[in-house]
Structures are given as C-alpha cells and as structure tokens.
Amino acid sequence: MTPAFEEAWSLAVLDVIKTATALSFNGIYVSLSALALYLLRHRRPKGFRIFVGAIAAMFVLAMSEIALQITGLVLSMRAVYSIASGAPTTNPLEWTELTRRMLEFFEFFFLITNNLITESLLIYRCYAIWSTYSKPKSVIALPIFLLFCSSVFAYTATALNAFISHYIDSRIVLTLVFTDNVLVTGLIVGRIWYTRRQMKTVGRSNFIRRYNTAIAMLLESATIYFLFLCVALVSVSMTPAHQHLLPTLTFSHVLYGFGGQLLVSINDSGVANLSVFRADNSE
C-alpha cells in the first residue's frame, strides 16, 4: 500500500463520516422546517414574511452545503480509485486538494451565512419580545455589534485560509458567537420570565403554562447549541497540536457534518417558540 493511497483513503474515510453525519441530521432539519412553517402559517406572528423568507434561504444554504459535501466525497473516492487502479498520468491528490480547498471555502461560506441568518433571527426575536420596552433598539445594540464582528472575522478567516493559506484562529469567532448567543438568549428568557411574573401578578395565570413552555423550549435549544460550541472550541484547540491523530480529525469532521444542520434546526425550533409566545402575547 503506497503512501499516496493511504492519504487518499484517509481523506475519503473522513469525507464519508462528515457526509453521513450531515445526511442523518438533515432528516431532523427537514422535519423541523415543516413544523416551523406549519406553526407560522396558522399563528401568523409579527414578522411572518421575514421568518418564512429566512427559513427558505436557510433551507437552500443547508441543501447546498450537503451538495458540496457529497461532491467532495465523490472526488475523494475518485482519487482512491485512480491511485488503486494503476499509475495515473497526474497526481490525483494534487488536483483533489485544489478542488477540496474550493469546496471547503464555499462550504464554510454557506455555514457562516447560515449562522448569520440564525443569529439575526434570534436578535429579531429578542427585539420583538422587547418591543414594549421604551428603548428596544438599545437592548439589541451589543448583540448586533458582536454579530457583525464575528461574521466579518469569519468571512475574512475563511477566505485567507482557503486562498492564501494563512491560518487564523477560529476560536475567536466561536467565542464571539458563544458570547452573542448567551447574551441574546438571556435577554429573551429574562423578558419572558418578567412578563410571566406580570401576568401572574394581575391574575392572568391561564397563560403561565405557555410562558413556561416558551422558556423551556428556548433553554433546550440554547443548551444544545452552547454544548456544540463548547465541543467545537475543544476540537479546534486540540487539532493544531494533534493533526496526526485520526480520532481527533474524525471527531472534527463529525462536527463539520452536523454543524450546519444543527444551526438551521435550532433556528426552526426557535421560530416555533416565538410563534407560541407571540400568540400568547396577543391574546
């Protein structure tokens, strides 16, 4: 077994793991998208068209990301077959590497864009829930700034890493995203909890259970995303020092596989949550 074959085979195995993970979570995402659209259609919350448009855009991005992952898998398999079938006229690994860099650039571009849409909708939900406050725009000023910084840094790092081979630590982006999510989720949960207390004070206890459901849904989806970000931070921190360890690379590709699907799934869960809350608030 030649070194070229071993390298090509290792890349193919990692691509299989990443693509299989993405396809598995894609089924959950499609189901949640259908549920979110159903709830939006029947409850018509404030910003109905914004949510529908965002869900449609994220669906296209998620499907495009999977298409790129499948394309990368096919290329890896072709490289393995080319090496195993005999002496190729050109080095398939060199050609595959160039193509993989392009595919990974667009894959991360779609992932960052999906995160941008997800975070924007989360901030919009925060703004909608704080709309009765005297200065709702001041509440979301810091989250918008953090989102802007993380998105610009992520797009720049992706382009530099892909085309200039200049490594930029992605932990900075993950930390900014984590901070933004904690802040916005805390603002939303705090506002719902405050409104719940007000409802209880004025005797409108019939809405308490639904407010509890809204808080529980937010905390559940937020906890999953926070855990993912923490695991991603650990994985990124380990990879540079242990690039030769296949388990570490395998774990990273599992994260890459379901990362994009997780983002859009959490967003669809959040849309369902907001439709419940706004429906209650309007009664």
Give the pLDDT confidence of 50-66 residue by residue, as tens digits: 878 888 888 888 888 88
At 5, is the secondary structure helix, strand, or coil?
Answer: helix
CA distance readout (Å), 149 to 114, 172, 227, 253: 16, 10, 22, 26
Total-model pTM: 0.78
Q: List the domains of the chain with CATH numbers.
A: 3-282 (1.20.1070)
Q: What is the DSSP letter of 240?
A: T
Q: What is the DSSP letter of 204?
A: -
Find the angle CA(169)-CA(261)-CA(184) to the nearest 5 degrees.
Answer: 65
**pLDDT at residue 21 above 60?**
yes
Residues 6+ apart with CB under 8 A from 75: 96, 99, 100, 103
| Cα(243)–Cα(46) distance, integer angstroms | 48
Tokens of 30: 């499609």
pLDDT digits over 212-237, tens only? 777 777 777 777 778 877 877 777 77
Asked whether the beta carbons of 55 and 101 are under 8 A apart, the reply is no
134 φ, ψ to 5°?
-65, -35
Q: What value does the mean pLDDT take over residues 89-115?
A: 74
Asked whether the beta carbons of 50 and 7 are under 8 A apart, the reply is no
Q: What value does the mean pLDDT take over residues 33-55?
A: 77
Tokens of 73: 């898998």
